[in-house]
C-alpha cells in the first residue's frame, strides 16, 4: 500500500459490531464490555471511586466495543459517554475512560444518538484503547446507575472477568 492508502485506512471509522443476543432479565443492568471487573474504590478518580453519581460497575476492557446495558432511550450521547433512560425506569450512564473528555472525540465512534431507542446488547460505540492510553488516560469503563437512590439494594453482581452482555448490576 502507498502512503495515501495507509493514511486513508487509518482514518477509516470502525464498522458497527453486530448486536449481542441477550435477554437481560428483570432488574439487571448488563456489562457493556468484556474485561476485568475491579472494585470502584481502586479507580484513579475520586468521583467514580466514591460512587458520587450512583452505584458503579468498573470494567477494564479487553476490547474497544461498547454495548447497551439496558433497553431504553438515549438521553445523552457524547463521544466518550452515553446516558440511557431504561424502559424499566433505571437510568444508566456508561463512561469510557478517565478524563477522556479531553480527547474531544478522537478515537471514539458513536453508533447511537440522543433520542434513539436502543435494545440491550445493541452496539453504542467503538473506542480506540491505544489512543486513549497514548493520550495518557485510563480506559476503564464505568457503568453507573444514576438514579441509585430509587434502588437502595442495587449491587454489582459481576466479578472477576465478564463478557459483554452478562449480568453487571442487579437493581432489586
Judge whether 155 lies within some domain.
Answer: yes
Cell of 102: 479531553
Distance, CA of 34 to CA of 55 (rounded, Å)? 19
- How many structural domains are present in the chain? 1
CB half-sphere exposure, 109, CA atoms < 13 A: 13
* DSSP conformation class of 64: S
Residue 112 belongs to a domain: yes
Output the CA torsion 2→3→4→10 (10° steps).
110
Say which CATH number the domain at 76 has: 2.70.70.10
pLDDT of 85 over the 70 cut: yes
**Residue 40 falls within a domain, yes or no?**
no
Q: What pLDDT, on a 0 to 100 scale, did the predictor assign at position 136?
A: 97
Q: Is residue 12 part of a domain?
A: no
Q: Which residues contact 10 (CB under 8 A, 6 or more apart)?
A: none
More confident residue, 15 or 1: 15
pTM for the model stands at: 0.91
Q: For residue 71, is it within any domain?
A: yes
Q: Which residues pair with 81 in a beta bridge?
A: 78, 95
Catalogue the active-site residues. Answer: 95
pLDDT in tens, 5-49: 444 455 577 899 999 999 888 999 999 999 999 999 999 999 999
Residue 90 lies in a domain: yes
- Euclidean distance between CA atoms 95 and 106, whole angstroms: 15
Domain boundaries, position 127: 49-170
Amino acid at each position: 500500500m502507498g502512503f495515501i492508502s495507509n493514511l486513508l485506512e487509518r482514518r477509516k471509522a470502525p464498522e458497527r459490531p453486530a448486536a449481542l443476543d441477550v435477554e437481560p432479565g428483570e432488574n439487571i443492568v448488563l456489562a457493556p464490555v468484556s474485561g476485568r471487573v475491579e472494585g470502584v474504590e481502586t479507580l484513579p478518580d475520586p468521583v467514580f471511586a466514591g460512587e458520587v453519581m450512583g452505584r458503579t460497575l468498573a470494567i477494564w476492557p479487553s476490547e474497544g466495543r461498547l454495548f447497551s446495558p439496558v433497553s431504553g432511550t438515549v438521553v445523552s450521547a457524547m463521544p466518550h459517554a452515553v446516558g440511557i433512560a431504561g424502559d424499566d425506569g433505571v437510568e444508566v450512564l456508561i463512561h469510557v475512560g478517565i478524563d477522556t473528555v479531553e480527547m474531544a472525540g478522537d478515537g471514539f465512534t458513536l453508533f447511537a444518538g440522543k433520542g434513539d431507542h436502543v435494545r440491550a446488547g445493541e452496539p453504542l460505540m467503538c473506542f480506540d484503547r491505544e489512543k486513549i492510553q497514548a493520550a495518557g488516560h485510563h480506559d476503564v469503563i464505568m457503568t453507573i446507575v444514576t438514579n441509585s437512590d430509587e434502588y437502595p439494594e442495587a449491587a454489582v453482581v459481576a466479578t472477576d472477568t465478564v463478557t459483554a452482555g452478562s449480568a453487571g448490576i442487579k437493581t432489586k
